[in-house]
Structure 1
Amino acid sequence: MSTTQSQGLKQGQQMKVTERIQMAGGPGRGPGGMVGQKASNFGPSAKRLLGRLAPQRVKLASLLTLAVVSVVLSSLAPRFLGHATDWIVAGSIGRQIPAGVSVDSYVASLRAEGQDRLADVISGVDHVVPGHGVDFGAVGAILLLVLGLYVASNLFSFLQGLMLNGLVNTTVKDLRADVEEKLNVLPLEYFDSQPRGEILSRVTNDIDNISQSLQQTMSQLLTSMVSVITILVMMFWISPLLACIALVSVPISMFVARTVMKRSQGQFINQWRSTGHLNAHIEETFSGHELVRVFGRQADAEARFAERNDALHDAGFKAQFLSGLVMPVMMFIGNLNFIAVAVVGGLRVAHGALTIGEVQAFIQYSRQFNMPLTQVASMMNLLQSGVASAERVFELLDAPEQVPERNGSLPDVRRGEVRFEHVSFSYDPQVPLIEDLSLVAKPGQTVAIVGPTGAGKTTLVNLVMRFYELDGGRITLDGTDVTEIPRSLLRAQTGMVLQDTWLFEGTIRDNLLYGRPDATEEELLAAARATFVDRFVHSLPDGYDTVVDADGGSLSAGERQLLTICRAFLAEPSLLILDEATSSVDTRTELLLQHAMAALRTDRTSFVIAHRLSTIRDADLILVMEDGAIVEQGNHDQLLAADGAYARLYQSQFAAPVDDEQVA
């Protein structure tokens, strides 16, 4: 294998984990990387999620009490309505019996006439007063009692919902706070190993899904379980035989619901996978809309859209159709159960074993009994989705944190001497990158780092900032090991300008003051003039009060980069790191900025990473890196005279234009 091939292999192996993940697909993941997933460890994750409610034990106990009271009150109502029916039946029978004739004698006369069934029915009815009709006073009192039960039940249910809302929102608020705190102590390695969209999904979509799942399932599950227990007690109290008949439908209903849900869940996964593919195609097509038109691929883009849209339509139809079968099938089984209860109940009334009111109450209970079971079945997908989201959030919370801070104080770094002493580091332990590297950046020096892509240039300055921890050796700042300096204090004295510009939503003034909020207006304007920001800001409608977003709004890439340079200029850092800081500006502006940055670098140590060697000719020390090692170092003239790696890089950039002119 040639040296070039070996270098290419190592560079490929050292490609950032982020790049590899972002290029990989996300099978089965819908928008936000969440919907359609199923928890791999449902039990432990659900238990841990419920454990998040533990700090609010008092509210949780009150919630359970309110749910029990609400369900018990509503469950008592059918029993009393049955009593009201019995009073009406008793009044109807009493009107048919002559006054002065006892019920027993009337029943005996019916039996003597061979009307045993009617005699059995009348003998099973209480409160019969011969010669009197319906006692509307008693019926009215019962109806008022039932009305009171329903009003009280709904009141407790309202209080339960109100308390649940506070309980869930407080829990989710604490969860968000824990996630935010966790993000602040995660090492940069974690963010490099996870796509940005994946992290944002866990912080936003997954937590929102947890909130919705808890809101929609917690109350329903709690109420449903209490309802099932209460209704079962009432059903067995009225008639154990009818209760057993009603229970026959339970395993049948659960089996059917589980079968249908299992099939529909697969279709929902297909639906969200198809949605993700369609959204990805739309985003890609519209982001590169100009390129699609330039190459005349509109028809091809439309054909792919139609294909994926049809796939989404088919998957969505199947998912909705199958999931829509749950309720009708459960209702059909419930109706069969209702027929069985009605027939057997009628026979029991005919034999005098039950009253009409008791059968009426039981039928109501059998209807109510199937309802919570149906609700539980229909909520399982939502519950699984919520637990799956919780599992993903817990994975983030369980991620290894950065090395804890040591107790230390910020030394006087005004000198800014940086030493690398036998430093070793690699992203992948199996693929070494930097091995036994030593160098000294003297106070006030400008150290330029050049080399091919993947050589370790940016890694070198990331190690100074403690974005990554060393595998071996140490880095000192003015003689103090950087691991003994709190990260926040170390980075507060460091200014960094990256190739990828980043602005925060707000005014241009807010973005410039981000690194130094207490700067005066005169200092801000001085920094803006020195970095040539002032000349284009005045052309904007609102000047320094112009609002921009993270993408820079109407600003060009070069203007955004000027703002980031001005932001670092205004912060007056002791240590300056410039990573391709002028890559997006024109040549004339770059020359002007070189003078500005020369002033910025005065009396402070600077690390400059550059591919355009014209920007670092005046550097005090130039380091040439290949495969994580410094292969050459010196100033511009010394390295050209050495005719080594730097000379080859320089010739590749400046010799070609000369040759072209000679050929012309």
Structure 2
Amino acid sequence: MSVNSYKEDEHSTGTSKRNTLKRLFSYLLFYKKKITFVLVIMGFCVVVSLLNPLFMEYAIDNDITSGNMSGLVRLILAAAVLNLLMVAGIRLRMYLMADITNSILVTIRQELYTHIQTLDFNFFDSRPTGKILSRIIGDINSLKDVLGNFVTTMIPDLLTVIAVAGIMLVKNPPLALAALCSLPLMALGMWLIQTISHKRWQIFRKKASNLNAFIHEDISGIRVIQSFTAEQETAETFRELVKEHRHSFIRACRMNDSLGSIIDFSWGLGVAAMYFVGIRILGTDQVSLGTFIAFGTYIGMFWSPIMNLSNFYNQIITNLAAAERIFEVLDTKPEITDENDSVMPPMKGDVVFQNVCFSYDNKVNVLQNVSFHIHPGETIALVGPTGAGKTTIVNLISRFYDVQKGAVLIDGIDVRSVTTLSLRSQMGIMTQDNFLFTGTIRDNIRYGRLDATDDEIIAAAKAVHAHEFIMKLEKGYDTELKERGGGLSVGQKQLLAFARTMISDPSILILDEATSSIDTNTELLVQEGIETLLQGRTSFVIAHRLSTIQKADRIFVIDQGGILEEGNAHELLEKKGAYYRLHMAQMALPVS
């Protein structure tokens, strides 16, 4: 899938409409017993509705003309009982189908969410969060009427149309053919409309996705917007996106609405043809008054379901694009997959890069033939300019991406040959984005290891000197955090994220700018707290602040697709190379 933002429409896949509908309606098969019961109820209701005109015909041509009032009363009572049962059946059918369709929506949404959780970083790098949310929420909700009406509208109305046509053909073929003469015109109109309408509804879904993506991005970045007083510019962008969304919706609806006009015209033409044939060609001597009334009722019973079916057809056209978008994500295969069920044994922390090449776009290599060997328990610092590949290296160790060439080995095992769960569960990863979830501080720290005890949580917080500020809060560890940790300082959020990483007790520790948002005094305390935790663990520390990595066993200077320099701080300063220049720049001293 191509990279896109709210400014670009998503690419549509050329999925077969038939296959999409077949796949969507296959979810109904999980509720065979309930749907069978619903179909029985609907069958009864259809039979009763088909009998009503025959009751009228019999009453007019027999009981009323002959004055048989007792027979007429019995007929009315029988019809009343049957119709009351039909009304009760319709109510029960509606309740059962609402329960089934809601259960199906929950199933599809759970499948989609679970599948998205398995996708790799490339999927999320290629689209805004708002567009993903649009599929999980909006697109799935739009399928409710389609699923429900497939059973409650399409099946009974289709049966009604077939049954009515059969009854009319049996009773009077010439009248029946006259009444149905406009069907080819209607079929041609429906084909033309669906061809154009489906494309328009695809465009509408894309515009709705763009709008959701912008709203999510705008709200997430509201602090930046207000800081730069860009409210007017974002409001203008929102206005343009809403305009496009509205315009695409109106164009799609206009095409859909024209289908009703075609049905009405075909209906009227059929009625006119029936009466013309019945009165002018056959004559009233061949067609009784009761038959005329029964046919008048039947032709309404024929075209009314046709109208319902056309509305259902409109729903399919309207929401087919939503189903396509959902199945497109479900069919997206994660690039990071487990080749087998092999489990990574307890790690010692021996890490080897063998001639690793990696590119995000398969064009420009971020890493080119990178090789190194890290011994268990070593602390490795990665420094270098932004975009040099520091974070890429640790992402490859964690297997968030796969190398294009070469191999990454841990304890002599290729990371691609074991399950990602067994690999990452033995790593402690703290990224630059210190994301905190809505919930208590205790729950956020425990997220690092779900079976951690309260004592272990407190010990981890103390190790990174987060315990002090936590206890100053009104509810301590039970303090409820807002979304993304709102209400805490950046430094406090980073300390909580650090405690969450520490409690996982990892064999390999990855700290990506772990102390970038902590003040100098707190940083000194944190360094004291983590020194014991680093012992016996292989650690990778990415830092722009060189003062934080002076005790690292080795420092890798990353640039130009590889390792420019390697050594401890003292050795690299003596070389007076790339590291020396970085050191002098941070000290604000002239380079000699």
Q: Give TM-score, length-normalised by structure 1.
A: 0.78
CA contact (8 A) 2:135 2:325 kept: yes
Name the CA shift for 1:322/1:56 in 2 (closer, same or farther; >3 Å).
Answer: closer
1:46 to 21, 24, 44: 21
The secondary structure found in structure 2 opposite 1:449 is strand
Please say if 1:140 is aligned against 2:122. no
Name the CA shift for 1:163/1:324 in 2 (closer, same or farther; >3 Å).
Answer: same
The secondary structure found in structure 2 opposite 1:468 is coil
Please say if 1:26 is aligned against 2:8. yes
Paired with 2:239 and 2:113, the residues of 1 have a C-alpha distance of 41
Deviation of 1:483 after TM superposition, in Å, equals: 4.1
Measured against aligned partners, the alpha-carbon deviations of 1:569-589 in whole angstroms (never above 9, x if no partner) come to: 222222110011122233332
CA contact (8 A) 1:28 1:272 kept: no
CA contact (8 A) 2:381 2:549 kept: yes
Deviates most, 367-376 or 492-501: 367-376
Deviation of 1:499 after TM superposition, in Å, equals: 0.5
| Structure 1 partner of 2:562 | 629
| Structure 2 partner of 1:400 | 333
Deviates most, 496-505 or 342-351: 342-351
| Structure 2 partner of 1:602 | 535
Give the alignment of 1:48-87 within 5 angstroms.
48-57=23-32, 59-87=34-62
Paired with 1:319 and 1:70, the residues of 2 have a C-alpha distance of 34
Task: Count residues in correspondence.
Answer: 590
Measured against aligned partners, the alpha-carbon deviations of 1:102-136 in whole angstroms (never above 9, x if no partner) come to: xxxxxxxxxxxxxxxxxxxxxxxxxxxxxxxx211
The secondary structure found in structure 2 opposite 1:571 is coil
CA contact (8 A) 2:381 2:542 kept: yes
Please say if 1:478 is aligned against 2:411. yes
Give the alignment of 1:321-470 within 5 angstroms.
323-327=256-260, 330-346=263-279, 351-401=284-334, 402-413=336-347, 415-470=348-403
The secondary structure found in structure 1 opposite 2:450 is coil
Paired with 1:329 and 1:175, the residues of 2 have a C-alpha distance of 35
Measured against aligned partners, the alpha-carbon deviations of 1:597-638 in whole angstroms (never above 9, x if no partner) come to: 223212211101122222212211111112331121111121
Deviation of 1:487 after TM superposition, in Å, equals: 2.7
Deviates most, 421-430 or 620-629: 421-430
Give the alignment of 1:70-219 within 5 angstroms.
70-87=45-62, 89-91=64-66, 134-219=67-152
Name the CA shift for 1:309/1:205 in 2 (closer, same or farther; >3 Å).
Answer: closer
Name the CA shift for 1:434/1:559 in 2 (closer, same or farther; >3 Å).
Answer: same
The secondary structure found in structure 2 opposite 1:420 is strand
1:638 to 551, 571, 586: 571
The secondary structure found in structure 2 opposite 1:502 is coil
The secondary structure found in structure 1 opposite 2:142 is helix
Deviation of 1:449 after TM superposition, in Å, equals: 0.9
Measured against aligned partners, the alpha-carbon deviations of 1:7-61 in whole angstroms (never above 9, x if no partner) come to: xxxxxxxxxx9xx8254733279xxxxxxx8974212222233344445555555
| Structure 2 partner of 1:221 | 154
Q: Which amino acid aligns with 2:81?
A: G
2:429 to 496, 504, 508: 496
Paired with 2:105 and 2:147, the residues of 1 have a C-alpha distance of 10
Deviation of 1:360 after TM superposition, in Å, equals: 0.8
Measured against aligned partners, the alpha-carbon deviations of 1:458-484 in whole angstroms (never above 9, x if no partner) come to: 221122222233344433333444445
CA contact (8 A) 1:81 1:142 kept: no
Please say if 1:618 is aligned against 2:551. yes
The secondary structure found in structure 2 opposite 1:608 is strand
Name the CA shift for 1:253/1:477 in 2 (closer, same or farther; >3 Å).
Answer: closer
Paired with 1:269 and 1:565, the residues of 2 have a C-alpha distance of 45
Deviation of 1:261 after TM superposition, in Å, equals: 6.5
Q: Which amino acid aligns with 2:338?
A: P
Deviation of 1:509 after TM superposition, in Å, equals: 0.6
Paired with 1:611 and 1:335, the residues of 2 have a C-alpha distance of 78
Deviates most, 606-615 or 158-167: 158-167
Name the CA shift for 1:22/1:511 in 2 (closer, same or farther; >3 Å).
Answer: farther
Q: Which amino acid aligns with 2:528?
A: H
The secondary structure found in structure 2 opposite 1:495 is strand
| Structure 1 partner of 2:498 | 565
CA contact (8 A) 2:6 2:211 kept: no
Name the CA shift for 1:522/1:196 in 2 (closer, same or farther; >3 Å).
Answer: same
CA contact (8 A) 1:508 1:547 kept: yes
Paired with 1:279 and 1:188, the residues of 2 have a C-alpha distance of 21
Name the CA shift for 1:308/1:324 in 2 (closer, same or farther; >3 Å).
Answer: same
Paired with 2:245 and 2:135, the residues of 1 have a C-alpha distance of 25
Deviation of 1:68 after TM superposition, in Å, equals: 3.5
User: Could you list the runs of 5+ residues in structure 2 that have no partner in the other structure?
Assistant: none
Name the CA shift for 1:38/1:186 in 2 (closer, same or farther; >3 Å).
Answer: closer
CA contact (8 A) 1:410 1:490 kept: yes
Name the CA shift for 1:502/1:311 in 2 (closer, same or farther; >3 Å).
Answer: closer
CA contact (8 A) 2:464 2:529 kept: yes
Deviation of 1:498 after TM superposition, in Å, equals: 0.7
Name the CA shift for 1:222/1:505 in 2 (closer, same or farther; >3 Å).
Answer: same
Name the CA shift for 1:57/1:268 in 2 (closer, same or farther; >3 Å).
Answer: closer
Name the CA shift for 1:444/1:288 in 2 (closer, same or farther; >3 Å).
Answer: closer
| Structure 1 partner of 2:174 | 241
The secondary structure found in structure 2 opposite 1:437 is strand
CA contact (8 A) 1:82 1:360 kept: yes
Deviation of 1:651 after TM superposition, in Å, equals: 2.9
Paired with 2:222 and 2:110, the residues of 1 have a C-alpha distance of 40
The secondary structure found in structure 1 opposite 2:434 is coil
Deviation of 1:411 after TM superposition, in Å, equals: 3.1
Deviates most, 475-484 or 580-589: 475-484
Paired with 2:137 and 2:318, the residues of 1 have a C-alpha distance of 15
The secondary structure found in structure 2 opposite 1:21 is coil
Paired with 1:189 and 1:305, the residues of 2 have a C-alpha distance of 27
Paired with 1:494 and 1:419, the residues of 2 have a C-alpha distance of 16
CA contact (8 A) 1:87 1:139 kept: no
2:582 to 649, 652, 655: 649
CA contact (8 A) 2:205 2:321 kept: no
RMSD over aligned CA atoms reads 3.5
Deviates most, 372-381 or 504-513: 372-381
Q: Which amino acid aligns with 1:543?
A: G
CA contact (8 A) 2:48 2:82 kept: yes
Name the CA shift for 1:248/1:584 in 2 (closer, same or farther; >3 Å).
Answer: farther
| Structure 1 partner of 2:509 | 576
The secondary structure found in structure 2 opposite 1:400 is coil
- Identical residues among aligned pairs (%): 34
The secondary structure found in structure 2 opposite 1:150 is helix
Measured against aligned partners, the alpha-carbon deviations of 1:306-361 in whole angstroms (never above 9, x if no partner) come to: 66666666665565556445435533543453344345445589632122111111
Deviation of 1:371 after TM superposition, in Å, equals: 1.3
Name the CA shift for 1:196/1:294 in 2 (closer, same or farther; >3 Å).
Answer: closer
